[in-house]
Amino acid sequence: MSASPAESSILELEDIGKSYGNVHALKGVNVSVRQGEVTCVLGDNGAGKSTLIKIVAGLHDYSDGTMKIDGQERRFASPRVAQAAGIATVYQDLALAPLMSVWRNFFLGNEIRKGPFLDLPEMKRICGEELTKMGIDIPDLDRPVGGLSGGQRQVVAIARAIYFGARVIILDEPTAALGVKQSGVVLKYIVRARDAGLGVILITHNPHHAYLVGNHFIILKLGRVVLDAHREQLTLEQLTAEMAGGQELSELSHELRGVDPGKVVEPQELEPGAVFDSTAGSAGSTE
Amino acid sequence: MTTVTTTPTDDRVATRSAAASFLGRPEVGALIGAVAVAVLFFAVAPAFRNVANVGTILYGSSTIGIMAVAVALLMIGGEFDLSAGVAVTASGLAAAHLAWYFSLNVWVGVLFALALSLAIGAFNGWLLYRTGLPSFLVTLGSFFVLQGVNLALTRIVAGGVSSNSLNDLDGFSSAKAVFASSFTVGTVEIKITVIYWAILTVIGSYLLLRTHYGNWIFAVGGDSAAARAIGVPVTITKIALFMGVGFCAWVLGMHNLFNYNNVQSGQGVGNEFIYIIAAVIGGCLLTGGYGSVVGATVGALIFGMTQLGISYAGWDPDWFKTFLGIMLIGATLVNLYVKRKADAR
C-alpha cells in the first residue's frame, strides 16, 4: 500500500523482551518484517513463539525494547488497535467462532452496514467472491464454520485478513493440525499473500513447511534468537538441524542408534547379542 | 484423504433444501412444543377455546416474555443472570420507595428505577470482567444481595413487606397508563405489556440477526477468545447484555408496581429460572453462541398457555412446576434431535 521500498521494514522489533513476574519469556529479540517477504519464526514448544505473536497482535504488551511500525514506535492496547495498524493474526485454534456461519465469521468485527442494519446480501456476495478468489468454494455460506475442515477454516481466516487490508499477517502454526494435502493448500495461500505485497510472519515448528515458502528464518530457543538467516545462507538440512537443536540432535541420534529398533520385524531370527553387531558407532554430521 | 478440497465446485456439499434449512433454525423445537401444548389444552380445557381468554394467556406470557428476550440475548452472549428475577422486584421497589418517602412525582421514581436497574446490570457485567469468575457465581451473589436489600429496605422505609400505595402521588395515573393500561380488540382485552413484549421481541431479534452488535453477541458467546482476538469489544458487549436484562427488569418492574399499586418485597425469587427455561426451550444453548430471540418468545408463550391451561382444564395447579420440568427436558431433546436431523441432511 505505502510506497516503501522492498528493503525497508513495515514492522520492526528491536531488543524486545517480555517478563511474566520473574520469568523472562522473551529476551533481546530482533525481528524485522518486510513487504513481500515471508518471515518464518521457528522454535520448539516453550521457545517463546506464542509470546512473540501475542505482543505483535496486541494481546500482550512488551516489557523491554521497542516495536516500530513504519519507523514509529507503537504499543498496542488491544487487538483492535493492532488491526487498525494493519496487523492481522490468524490463530491456529482461536481463529473463528465455530457456531457462526461462514459469512458472519468473515465479517466479524468489520461488518458492512446499511444504515443501522447489516447489508446481508452484500456481505454474502463479497464473502463468496473473496473465497472463490482464493480458490476455495463453499456453496453454503450459512453453514457454521465448525462444520468446515481445518484447511478450509485456515483459508477463510487468511482470506479475511487479506480482504480487510492487512499489511502484516501473522499465521500461528497454520499447518500444525492439517493433513499433507491441506497443508499444501494453506502454503499456497501464504505465497499468494506474500505476492500480494503483504509482510507474512509464519510461526511453525515444521522446518519443511517453512523452507518451502520462507524468505527469512528466525529460530527461537528459550526466549532468545539463536538463528537469524536469509534463505540464501541456509539449506533445509541446516535449518532442520538448527531447529532440532544442532549438536543436541546428533547426540540424540547417536544415542538412539544404539537401540536399533529395526530388528523387531524378524522375531524368529532374533538372537541375543546379534543386535549390536551390525551398528558401527559414528558421530553425526554436525560437529 | 481424497483429492478434493480446492476444486472449483466441491461436489461433496449439496445445497440444502428449504425444509432442511427451516428445521435447522434454533426456534423450531419451541414452535413444535407450542403447537403441541396448544392442541393438548384445546382438547382438554373448554375455557381454553374461549377467544376472550386469549388476552389472559398473552398477558401471562408477556410477563415472562419481556424478560426472556433479554435473558436469551445474554445467554447467546454466553452468560447467565440469576439475579434477573429479584431485579424486577428491586426496580419496582426502588421507584415506589423513593417516590413515596419524599412524596415526589412518581416519574422521578420511575427514572431513578431505570438508572438503578441499568446500574445493577452494568455492575454484574463489570464484576464478571474484573474478577473473571463465571457469571453463574457472580449473579448468584447479586441475587442474594438484592433479595436481602429488597426485604430490609422495605422494612425500613414502609415498615412491612410491601411498598406503600402510590395512588395519591402526582403522575400516578399517567404512569399507570404507560405501564399497566389495557385496551380491547373485539372481545379480547390486551394488556399493554403484550405490546412491549412484541416490540422487545422485534427489536431483540433485529439486533441479533441484522446488526453488527448481533454478530458480536454470537461471537462473544461462541468463543470469546476468538472474538477478542479479532477485535470485538468483548467486555463492552457483555456489560451491554447485562444492562439489557436490567432494562427489561425495569419495564416489568414498573408494570408490576403500577398494576397492583404496590410491590411485595419477597416477589420474583425463582422467576430467573423460568426466564432461563423459556430461553432454553426457545433453542438457546447453555454454552452460548447459539439461540434465538423469537424462540425465547415462543418459550414464554408455552409458559403462558401451560399456566392457564392447567387451571382451565381443572387440574391441580400444584402440578404446574412438574409440567415445566418435563417441558424443559422434552424441548431440549427435541431441539437436539431436530438440529441433528437438519445437519445430517
- Find the mean pLDDT for residues B177-191: 90
Which of chain A's residues have a Cβ under 8 Å away from the Cβ of B290? 99
CB nearest to A97's CB, from B206, B226, B231: B226
Average pLDDT, chain A: 78
Residue B201 CA to residue B46 CA, distance in Å, equals 30
Q: Return the H-helix or E-strand segment holding A38.
A: strand A38-43
Predicted confidence band of residue B16 (pLDDT cuts 50, 70, 90): low
Cα–Cα distances in Å, from A14 out to A17, A67, A73, B295? 9, 6, 10, 54
Predicted confidence band of residue A260 (pLDDT cuts 50, 70, 90): low
Are B212 and A136 within 8 A, CB to CB? Answer: no
Q: For position A265, what pLDDT does the model report? A: 57
B13: CB partners within 8 A, 6+ apart: A138, A139, A140, A143
**pLDDT tens figures, B262-301:** 899 999 998 999 999 999 988 888 888 889 999 999 999 9
Cell numbers for B105: 412525582
CA B138 to chain centre: 19
Strand partners, A202: A40, A171
Residue A279, pLDDT above cutoff 80: no
Q: List chain A domain ranges.
A: 30-245, 246-287
Predicted confidence band of residue B149 (pLDDT cuts 50, 70, 90): very high
Q: Which candidate in A92, A96, A100 is best for mutational testing of the B interface (most B CBs within 10 A)? A: A100
Select the more confidently predicted residue: B11 or A84: A84
Distance from CA of A57 to the nearest CA of B (A): 8
**pLDDT tens figures, B20-49:** 667 777 888 788 888 988 998 889 988 888
Q: For position B8, what pLDDT does the model report? A: 42
Exposure b/e, A134-167, CB count within 10 A at least 16 = b: bbbbbeebebbbebbebbbbbbbbbbbbbbbebb
Cα–Cα distances in Å, from A61 out to A54, B224, B229, B336? 8, 20, 14, 43
Count of helix runs (H) and strand runs (E) in chain A: 9, 12
**pLDDT tens figures, B199-242:** 999 999 999 999 999 999 999 998 888 888 888 899 999 999 99
Residue B218 CA to residue B225 CA, distance in Å, equals 13
Average pLDDT, chain B: 88
- Find the mean pLDDT for residues A205-223: 86
Q: For position A269, what pLDDT does the model report? A: 57
CB nearest to B289's CB, from A78, A97, A116: A97
**pLDDT tens figures, B56-95:** 999 999 999 999 999 999 999 999 999 999 999 999 999 9
Cell 470485538 found at: B232
Residue A87 CA to residue A109 CA, distance in Å, equals 14
Residue A262, pLDDT above cutoff 80: no
**pLDDT tens figures, A36-64:** 889 998 888 778 888 888 888 888 888 88
Cell numbers for A138: 463453499
Topology of domain A30-245, CATH: Rossmann fold (3.40.50)
- CB-count burial class (<10 Å; 0-12, 13-18, 19+) for A240: middle
How big is the A-B interface in CB pairs under 8 Å?
107
Residue B345, pLDDT above cutoff 60: no
CATH of the domain spanning B30-344: 1.10.3470
B52: CB partners within 8 A, 6+ apart: B187, B188, B189
Cα–Cα distances in Å, from B296 out to A48, B200, B243? 46, 11, 18
Residue A6, helix vs strand vs coil: coil
Q: What would the DSSP string read from start to end of B184-205?
A: EETTEEEEHHHHHHHHHHHHHH
Predicted confidence band of residue A145 (pLDDT cuts 50, 70, 90): confident
Q: How many CA atoms lie within 13 A of B177 on its CB side?
A: 4
Predicted confidence band of residue A193 (pLDDT cuts 50, 70, 90): confident
Residue B183, pLDDT above cutoff 80: yes
Evaluate whether A146 touches A98 at the Cβ level (below 8 Å). Answer: yes
Tell me the Cα Rg of chain B: 22
CB nearest to B13's CB, from A57, A89, A140: A140
Q: Taking Cα atoms as reference points, which of A118, A15, A7 lies closest to residue A66?
A: A15
Kindly report which listed range (A118-127, A177-186, B108-117, B129-138) carries the lowest average pLDDT score. A177-186
Q: For position B136, what pLDDT does the model report? A: 92
Q: How many CA atoms lie within 13 A of B79 on its CB side?
A: 38
Q: Taking Cα atoms as reference points, which of B109, B156, B144, B120 lies closest to residue B254?
A: B109
Residue A141, helix vs strand vs coil: coil
Q: Residues of A at the B interface (Cβ-Cβ below 8 Å)? A: 57, 59, 78-80, 83, 89, 91, 94-100, 104, 107-111, 113, 116-118, 120, 135-140, 142-143, 147, 149, 151-152, 179-182, 185
Q: Taking Cα atoms as reference points, which of A198, A276, A250 lies closest to residue A36?
A: A198
- Which residue type does B279 have? A
Q: Characterize the bridge pairing of strands A113-114 and A117-118.
A: antiparallel
Cell numbers for B55: 388476552
Q: For position A111, what pLDDT does the model report? A: 85
Report the percentage of chain A scoring pLDDT > 90.
0
